[in-house]
Amino acid sequence: MDTMSEILKLKSPAEFIGKQGNGVISFGSGQPDLPPPPEVFQGINLKRDLRYGLIQGELKLREALAHEYPGSTADNFVITNGASEALDLIFRSWGKGGKVLLPRPYYYSYPPIIEMAGMEPVFTDQVEGRIDLEDFKKKVVGCKAMLINSPSNPTGRVESIETLKEIERLTQRLGVYVVSDEVYKDLIYERENYHIQGDHVITVNSFSKTYCMCGVRVGYLWSADKKIVEDVCEQKTHTSMNTNLVGQDMALHAMKTPKDYIVKQQLIWRERRDFIYQGLTDLGFDLWKPEGAFYVLPRCRNARKFLSVLFQEYKVITYLGEWFGAPDRLRFSYALDIKEMEEGLNRIRDAMKKVSVL
């Protein structure tokens, strides 16, 4: 990406992969920069049996997960190669046809995952970064499923418990599946999370964000519906087979981490949230204050041009809101230390002298 014209043609965050380094400050990457708990590395047993494992996932890991989901057993879980594979398997297991309701803004991979499964994404636009229940009630009728992500990537917003309960009730009555992507469930700063429940709910999660082990690629799905589990395992049999065994060992050991590891993480993310929120607000940006995850999504005029100037002239990476269904915004990740963020904000201030963004 040597010229302005090349940068202006960028189509997704994936095109920034490998562009860090050499003085670049990246507000793009959606992965924690914090170290994993030391318990994770106890799971690296190079002498273990490395023949094929169970398609559904290793029993010890599924049993450990069952303790975190009241009333569950190991049979309710499928261990996957990250949360993204879980989503892919769910939608492909339903076959082609059918609509999936997506709150917009959304995680940028959601529409392609749905479309590659032969299904159609339908959108309900959020108001102030939250689901508009009235619009939701209209759009969800006739859908096979809805996909929800709270806390949200890209907004950092957390849906209210009242909204989640209403979604739970309405989808149950209509016979619509709820696929709940909860990869940031342990990164909520303002209140306890609410776990959507019911036979029509499929929960997706991973070890990437909570335990800072994105590259290990271990996630899972939970469902009370045995047919969902069976159909997903059938799909997985013919694609990736078992999820990597060493990674599953690492995930199992991660679950033995003292709870104060997560509490300490939350304190760090809250401090960083406060810093970037105040910094962008002081620069004049209009943005929602995140309640979880580690993202902000400020309004930005001339967003594509500004992103290009930031990267080409100031070595700052951020992502276009339009990739997440939010035109005229930029998505910032604050998965970097405060000193880097301070320098990044200084560079943004300088770049604002060249592009009208407010």
Regarding predicted confidence, which is higher, 259 or 61?
61
- pLDDT above 90 covers a percentage of the chain that reads 88
pLDDT of 13: 77
The predicted model gives 96-124 an average pLDDT of 97
Same domain, 77 and 179: yes
pTM for this model (two decimals): 0.94
Statement: residue 7 has pLDDT above 60: no
Q: Is residue 358 part of a domain?
A: no
Domain hosting residue 270, numbered range: 4-30+260-351
Q: How far apart, in Å, do the first and last CA atoms of the chain sit?
A: 26
Same domain, 49 and 197: yes
pLDDT of 19: 67
The predicted model gives 111-137 an average pLDDT of 97
Q: Is residue 106 part of a domain?
A: yes
Say how far apart CA 305 and CA 206 lie, in whole Å.
35
Domain end among 254, 278, 307: 254
Band (pLDDT 50/70/90 cuts) for residue 6 is low
- Show the tokens assigned to 40: 């994770």
Q: Which of 329, 304, 330, 308 is nearest to 319 (CA)?
A: 330
Domain end among 216, 231, 254: 254
Say how far apart CA 78 and CA 61 lie, in whole Å.
10
Task: Tell me if 40 sits within 8 A of 213, measured CB to CB.
Answer: yes
Total tally of structural domains belonging to the chain: 2
Same domain, 241 and 292: no
Give the pLDDT confidence of 180-233 residue by residue, as tens digits.
Answer: 999 999 999 887 778 898 999 999 999 999 999 999 999 999 999 999 999 999
Give the pLDDT confidence of 161-176 residue by residue, as tens digits.
Answer: 999 999 999 999 999 9
The predicted model gives 1-20 an average pLDDT of 63
| CATH number of the domain to which 131 belongs | 3.40.640.10
Same domain, 126 and 172: yes
Q: Is residue 325 part of a domain?
A: yes
